A and B are shown apart, each in its own frame.
Chain A
Amino acid sequence: MLQAFATVFSLNVLIPWILAMALGIFIGAMPGLTATMGVALIVPLTFHMQPIAGLAMILGLSFTAIFAGDIPATFLRVPGTPASGAAVLDGFEMSKQGKGSLAITLDLFCSALGGLIGVVLLITISPTLANFALQFTNFEYFWLGLLGLSMSAVITKGSNTKGLIAVVFGLLISTIGIDISTGYPRFTFGNINLVSGINFIPVMIGLFGLSEVIRDIAVQSQEQLSGAAVVETSHTTPKDVLKVMGRNKRVILQSSLIGTIIGALPGAGADIAAWVSYGFAKKTSKHPEAFGTGSEEGVVAPTTANNAALGGTWIPALVFGIPGDTITAIVLGAMLMYGLKPGPLVFTNNKELINQIFAVALSSQVFVLILGFLGIKAFAFLFRFPRNVVLAGITIFSLIGAYAIRTSIFDVFLVVLFGILGYVMEKVEMPLSPLILGLVLGPMIEDNLRIGLIKTNNQFLPFLTRPISGIFALILVIAFLYEPARSLFKLMRKH
């Protein structure tokens, strides 16, 4: 292992690795540019390098990009990457209270620690975990999707009916486009742009980013708009952050585990890990009412889990050659181009390389801290501008960022449409996050339900009788009945 560290710290690996991580900060902080896109952009460059340098660039970039997505999420309510959707909820609230510096530094430390725990788990338990994940079929994925959806009830503030309306609306939007089982185009109305469905990145940029700009313009006066973008009232030291982390040890550990396990499931990545972890943290918190109002736990849970998930996604990729998410799908392609064959044999045939990958993954967490800190400083420069200039900047970056996803003007329309919808939804006090959750999990739930039913000849019973499937169903029932049962128990004790 020491030899592996010596190799990865040689200049021909270290320089491209650090440069890619710095690029990851910019990509992550820019709405519309995702970690996946960043990895896809640098892969062609890596073909001219030795495999470990290329893999270090990919691994490092994904870690910094996932963290950096939380920077605009915290300060501007614009998630930089899909994995930062849940980080908006409490990070932005803390920022509004003048505690943005604490929120983002806490986020940075949690991202590095979550990433580190994810990598340690990758190194230690990867074969066992990957084996467990391989037993998952459509039945288990269906229940897993529903479990994720049940989190919408947890993350909803205020009216449950409105939260459910948002989640069902998100699920309905997810049905637009080609039906995966039959190839039939649903609700496309002959529009070619709708055939591939509604991309959730412009939806997120619109719902969280543009709607906030509209709200600012509609609510604040000209004088307020020309004031400083963010008023910082506190200065945060690492000691303050470590204190907060000490108070939230349980949430950090729990979120790292959830993140890694979800990351290890093929098809579920850092975004789902962050939502589920946020919901779980709220469910198990002593102060669930504080979530959504600038709670420390609400910042810790999703930001720890999304970086921990990255370690998790490499487990099935390395052990079985099955991608855990889109980034590792690109990685697998790149590894084949390098002449490596991912799968169980990679651990014996390329033991040296595997150790080097582990060394890169571990060391990247230190670089995340350093580069992340510099990234925050660079971003803080923006706040010296008046708020109306920042609002114009957010608007144009959101629009061009949406265009950049697939050079489609239709995606820019989606940003505006969902920006207006987000503004209206907030006017009627309807939560935005469940809509995103419905949109993200919709295809997972529908496809696995229908393929499962086709397999069983329209019988639902096998969804309950398989062991893991049955356990998931039971957890779901408990999750739904827990609150009413607790209220009933309290009521009975009172009487």
Chain B
Amino acid sequence: MTEELLLKLSREHGLGIACIAISLAVLCITPSFPKGQASVNITGPAFFPNVLAVAFIILGTIQLIAATRASLKSRTENAQKTKPSAQANRTRQAIEFIILIVAFIFAFEPLGFFTSTIVFLFLLMLLLGLTWWKSLLYSLIFTAVIYLLFGVLFTIGLPAGIISFLGI
């Protein structure tokens, strides 16, 4: 029975477990916070996070119970369906999209706004299925529009990076 339940650990269970894990982490950290007025904890910085952590444990437990009930109910049903390969491809595309953004963030300041944005947009549009010349055209247009709006009109300092010698 236990093995069966463990196998059925679903997203719903994950949510409950995540709530309890976060609460326990909060409760482990807050004892290091200073005490409040006249050493009374109720007005100290730990009071509110502790209250929320307890509420989170209760909510996490309710969520776990509800998830277990739901999984026991659907025990007989074979919910696992084989995913079509198209869906797997799209999920992979979403993961590649996130990796591309993270790479852009790391490159933004060292490479500078222009270089990183043009390369990022070009790769992103290729990923989204545009032809290479359309990707290049749109990435140049978007970069120019963003620069004019944010950099020129709103005078927001965008990093120049490797093309700083151009004085942009």
Contacts and interface: CB of A to CB of B under 8 A. Distances in A.
A430 interface: yes
A428 B15 contact: yes
Interface string B141-162: 0100010011000111110000
Given A161-B63, A214-B94, A407-B157, A172 B52 contact: yes
A179 B146 CA distance: 36
B149 A26 contact: yes
Contact of A187 (B29, B37, B40, B59): B29
A374 B152 CA distance: 23
Given A182-B44, A454-B43, A458-B43, A392 B90 contact: no
B31 to A, nearest CB: 13
A415 to B, nearest CB: 9
B134 to A, nearest CB: 8
A182 B36 contact: yes
Contact of B45 (A162, A181, A395): A181
Nearest to A163: B59
Nearest to B105: A412
B142 A416 contact: no
Nearest to A176: B49
Interface in A378-402: 386, 388-389, 391-393, 395-397, 399-400
Interface in A416-467: 416, 419-420, 427-428, 430, 446, 449-450, 453-454, 458
Nearest to A226: B129
A219 B15 contact: no
Contacts of A427: 11
B97 A400 contact: no
Interface in B85-127: 86, 90-91, 93-94, 97-98, 101-102, 104-105, 108-109, 117, 120-121, 124-125
A253 interface: no
A430 B138 contact: no
Nearest to B30: A186
B33 A186 contact: yes
B63 to A, nearest CB: 5
A391 B52 CA distance: 37
Contacts of B63: 161-162, 165
A446 B36 CA distance: 14
B34 A184 contact: yes
A428 B86 contact: no
A359 to B, nearest CB: 29
Contact of B121 (A33, A171, A396, A458): A396
B48 interface: yes
B168 to A, nearest CB: 16
B104 to A, nearest CB: 7
A217 B93 contact: yes
Contact of A392 (B86, B128, B154): B128
Interface residues of B, number: 60
A168 interface: yes
Given A399-B104, A412-B105, A450-B43, A168 B55 contact: yes
Contacts of A420: 98
A453 B38 CA distance: 12
Given A172-B22, A175-B48, A454 B37 contact: yes
Contacts of A234: none
B98 A397 contact: no
A392 B149 contact: no
A100 to B, nearest CB: 22
Contacts of A171: 48, 52
A26 B45 CA distance: 41
Contacts of A162: 15, 63
A416 B101 contact: yes
Contacts of A396: 117, 120-121, 124, 142, 146
A409 interface: yes
A184 B45 contact: yes
A388 B90 contact: no
Contacts of B14: 428
B90 A218 contact: yes
Interface in A120-172: 159, 161-162, 164-165, 168-169, 171-172
Contact of B90 (A159, A186, A217): A217
A5 interface: no
Nearest to B60: A165
B163 interface: no
Contacts of B34: 182, 184
Contacts of B43: 181, 450, 453-454, 458
A388 B125 contact: yes
Contact of A409 (B11, B98, B105): B105
B42 A217 contact: no
A217 B91 CA distance: 8
A388 B139 CA distance: 12
A245 interface: no
A225 B129 contact: yes
Given A182-B45, A389-B130, 4 more contacts: A182-B44, A392-B124, A399-B105, A450-B36
Interface of A: 26, 30, 33, 37, 41, 159, 161-162, 164-165, 168-169, 171-172, 175, 179, 181-182, 184, 186-187, 213-214, 217-222, 225-226, 386, 388-389, 391-393, 395-397, 399-400, 403-404, 407, 409, 412-413, 416, 419-420, 427-428, 430, 446, 449-450, 453-454, 458
23 contacts: A162-B15, A168-B55, A175-B49, A182-B34, A184-B34, A217-B93, A218-B91, A226-B129, A388-B130, A389-B138, A392-B138, A392-B142, A395-B124, A396-B117, A400-B158, A403-B108, A409-B105, A428-B12, A428-B14, A428-B15, A450-B36, A450-B47, A458-B42
